[in-house]
C-alpha cells in the first residue's frame, strides 16, 4: 500500500476530521505552518463581517456598551484560561506577546526587589531575550543565560525571574513546567512561561504547576489571525502586588473618571494599557471558541499521531535527514523539525508545490501539525514531496535560494 493510501485509510476513521471543513483552506494547499500563523476559521469571516457591518457600522461608539466591546479582553482571556490550566480571572487578552512579556518581567522585578537577574536559555525566542535587554538598558534588569541542563544550577540569589518558552520554537522540545517552576521557587525566584507554541495545542497546567506568570500568542494554534492579540496570565496570589510600567488609562480602576492620578484596576485588568483592538479580539474569540469546543486532549492526541506518522515516514524515506526534535512525541509540542544545510531552498521548493511548512535560520525545516485541520493525507503528500525534492536536488534553483524579507 502506498503511503498516501495508508494515510487516506487513517483519515477515514480519524478523530476531528469533521473540523477541517470549518476552516477556509485554499484548494491545493497543504498547510503545515499553523504553529506560525493558524488557518482561517470560516466562522471568523462571518463574525468579522458582523462586527464591522453591524457593531461598528451601525452601532458606532454605542457598541462599547451595547456589544460589550469594553469587556472583550477579559472575556477572551477568560475563555483561554481553562485551556492553559488557569482560572478565568487570571488571564487577559491584550497587546502582543512581546509587550506582555515586558510588562510581566517588570512586574516580577518589582516583586523581587533586590534581585535583578532574569534567567533564560540561549536560543530562546529572540523577543523574550530582547525584552530583558530593553529593561537592562534602563538599569532595571540583568540578562543571564544558561543552557537547559545548567538552568537549575544558575538559579542563584540574584535571579528574580526564570523566563522560559514551554515548547521551543525551533526544536519543539518541551520543558518540565512543574519541575522548573518548583526549582525556581525553591531558589526564591518567580517564573514566567512563554506559551506561544503550547497554548491551544497541548495540555498546560499553570495553576497545578504553581506558575507565576505566562504569556502567549493568539495567532498560532488559537487561529486568531495575523497579529492577533496575545494573552497574559498572572497567578491570583500575585494580583495584589502586581505592578507594571505601562500604566495606561485602560488599566485604570476607573478609566472614564479621567482622573489625573493613576489607580490600578483590580487583578489582571491592570495589564491593559490602551484601547483594546476590537476587530482582532473578535477574530481571536472565534478561534478560541473552536479550540475549546474540540478540547485540548483530543487535539494533542491527534497531533501526536500526525507528527509520529510524519517522523516515521521520513525516517524510512530520508534516513539521513537529521531530526532535531525529540523522538518521543510526549517530549515535543505539535511540531517537528529537521536540519538540512539547504533548508531554505527546500522550504521554497515545497511551497512551490503548495506545501507550506517553514524555515528557521540557519538550517531548520519546521513542520507544524495543527490537528484541527491537518489530515494524514496532507502529511503523506508532504513526505512524498520532501522526498522527491531532496532525492532529485529539485531545491537547487536560483529562485528557491533568494531570501524573502519574511521567512
Using omega within 30 degrees of 0 as the cis cutoff, is the peptide bond preceding 32 cis?
Answer: no
The least distance separating ligand PLP from the CB of residue 131, rounded to whole angstroms, comes to 9
By three-state DSSP, how is residue 376 classified?
helix
Helix (H) or strand (E) holding 93: strand 91-94
Closer of 57 and 226 to ligand PLP (Cβ): 226
The least distance separating ligand PLP from the CB of residue 169, rounded to whole angstroms, comes to 4
User: Measuring CA to CA, which residue among 327, 359, 36, 357 is closest to residue 173?
Assistant: 327
By three-state DSSP, how is residue 1 classified?
coil
The least distance separating ligand PLP from the CB of residue 292, rounded to whole angstroms, comes to 21
If phi > 0 it is left, if psi is from -120 to 50 it is alpha, else beta; for residue 358 that is beta
How far is Cα 84 from Cα 93, in angstroms, rounded to an integer? 13
Catalytic option among 33, 128, 194, 378: 194
- Which residue of this chain has its Cβ atom nearest to ligand PLP in the complex? 98
Closer of 100 and 282 to ligand PLP (Cβ): 100
Closer of 194 and 384 to ligand PLP (Cβ): 194
User: Measuring CA to CA, which residue among 195, 176, 232 is closest to residue 35?
Assistant: 195
Catalytic option among 309, 366, 378, 381: 366
Q: Can you count the helices (H) and strands (E) in the chain?
A: 12, 13
Tell me how far CA of residue 48 lies from CA of 288, 392, 403, in angstroms. 15, 45, 34
The least distance separating ligand PLP from the CB of residue 205, rounded to whole angstroms, comes to 19
If phi > 0 it is left, if psi is from -120 to 50 it is alpha, else beta; for residue 60 that is left
Q: Is the dihedral of CA 51, 53, 54, 59 positive or negative?
A: positive
How far is Cα 40 from Cα 28, in angstroms, rounded to an integer? 16
Site residues for ligand PLP per CB under 6 A? 96-98, 125, 127-128, 165, 169, 194, 196-197, 217, 230
Catalytic option among 19, 23, 31, 125: 125
Closer of 160 and 230 to ligand PLP (Cβ): 230
> Does residue 219 carry a catalytic annotation?
yes
Closer of 8 and 96 to ligand PLP (Cβ): 96
The least distance separating ligand PLP from the CB of residue 221, rounded to whole angstroms, comes to 11
Catalytic option among 103, 115, 144, 220: 220
Catalytic option among 219, 338, 376, 400: 219
The least distance separating ligand PLP from the CB of residue 382, rounded to whole angstroms, comes to 21
User: Measuring CA to CA, which residue among 110, 116, 353, 66 is closest to residue 244?
Assistant: 110
| Diameter over CA atoms, the chain | 73
How far is Cα 186 from Cα 241, in angstroms, rounded to an integer? 20
> Does residue 125 carry a catalytic annotation?
yes
Closer of 67 and 195 to ligand PLP (Cβ): 195
Residues noted as catalytic = 125, 194, 219-220, 366
Amino acid at each position: 500500500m502506498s503511503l498516501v493510501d495508508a494515510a487516506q485509510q487513517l483519515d477515514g476513521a480519524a478523530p476531528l476530521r469533521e473540523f477541517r471543513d470549518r476552516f477556509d483552506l485554499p484548494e491545493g494547499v497543504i498547510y503545515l505552518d499553523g504553529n506560525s500563523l493558524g488557518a482561517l476559521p470560516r466562522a471568523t469571516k462571518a463574525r468579522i463581517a458582523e462586527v464591522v457591518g453591524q457593531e461598528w457600522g451601525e452601532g458606532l461608539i454605542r457598541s462599547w456598551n451595547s456589544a460589550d466591546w469594553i469587556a472583550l479582553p477579559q472575556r477572551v482571556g477568560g475563555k483561554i484560561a481553562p485551556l492553559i490550566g488557569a482560572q478565568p480571572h487570571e488571564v487577559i487578552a491584550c497587546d502582543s506577546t512581546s509587550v506582555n512579556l515586558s510588562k510581566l518581567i517588570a512586574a516580577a522585578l518589582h516583586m523581587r526587589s533586590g534581585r535583578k537577574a532574569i534567567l533564560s536559555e540561549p536560543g530562546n525566542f529572540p523577543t523574550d531575550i530582547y525584552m530583558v535587554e530593553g529593561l537592562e538598558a534602563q538599569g532595571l534588569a540583568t540578562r543571564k543565560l544558561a543552557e537547559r541542563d545548567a538552568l537549575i544550577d544558575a538559579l542563584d540569589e540574584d535571579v528574580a525571574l526564570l523566563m522560559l518558552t514551554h515548547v521551543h520554537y525551533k526544536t519543539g522540545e518541551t520543558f518540565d513546567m512543574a519541575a522548573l517552576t518548583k526549582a525556581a521557587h525553591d531558589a526564591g525566584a518567580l517564573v514566567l512561561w512563554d506559551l506561544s507554541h503550547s497554548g491551544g495545542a497541548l495540555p498546560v497546567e499553570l495553576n497545578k504547576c504553581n506558575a507565576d506568570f505566562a504569556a502567549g500568542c493568539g495567532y498560532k494554534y488559537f487561529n486568531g489571525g495575523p497579529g492577533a492579540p496575545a494573552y497574559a496570565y498572572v497567578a491570583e496570589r500575585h494580583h495584589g502586588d502586581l505592578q507594571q510600567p505601562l500604566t495606561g488609562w485602560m488599566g485604570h480602576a476607573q478609566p472614564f473618571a479621567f482622573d489625573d492620578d493613576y489607580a490600578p484596576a483590580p487583578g489582571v485588568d491592570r495589564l491593559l494599557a490602551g484601547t483594546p483592538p476590537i476587530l482582532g479580539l473578535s477574530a481571536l474569540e472565534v478561534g478560541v471558541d473552536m479550540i475549546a469546543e474540540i478540547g485540548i486532549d483530543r487535539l494533542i492526541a491527534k497531533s501526536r499521531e500526525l507528527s509520529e506518522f510524519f517522523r516515521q515516514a521520513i525516517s524510512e524515506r530520508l534516513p539521513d535527514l537529521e531530526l532535531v526534535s525529540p523522538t518521543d512525541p510526549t517530549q515535543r509540542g505539535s511540531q517537528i523539525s529537521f536540519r538540512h544545510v539547504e533548508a531554505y531552498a527546500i522550504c521554497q521548493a515545497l511551497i512551490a508545490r503548495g506545501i507550506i511548512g517553514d524555515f528557521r535560520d540557519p538550517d531548520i525545516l519546521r513542520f507544524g501539525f495543527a490537528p484541527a485541520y491537518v489530515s494524514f493525507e496532507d502529511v503523506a503528500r508532504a513526505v512524498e514531496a520532501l522526498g522527491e525534492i531532496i532525492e532529485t536536488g529539485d531545491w537547487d534553483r536560483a529562485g528557491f535560494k533568494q531570501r524573502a524579507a519574511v521567512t
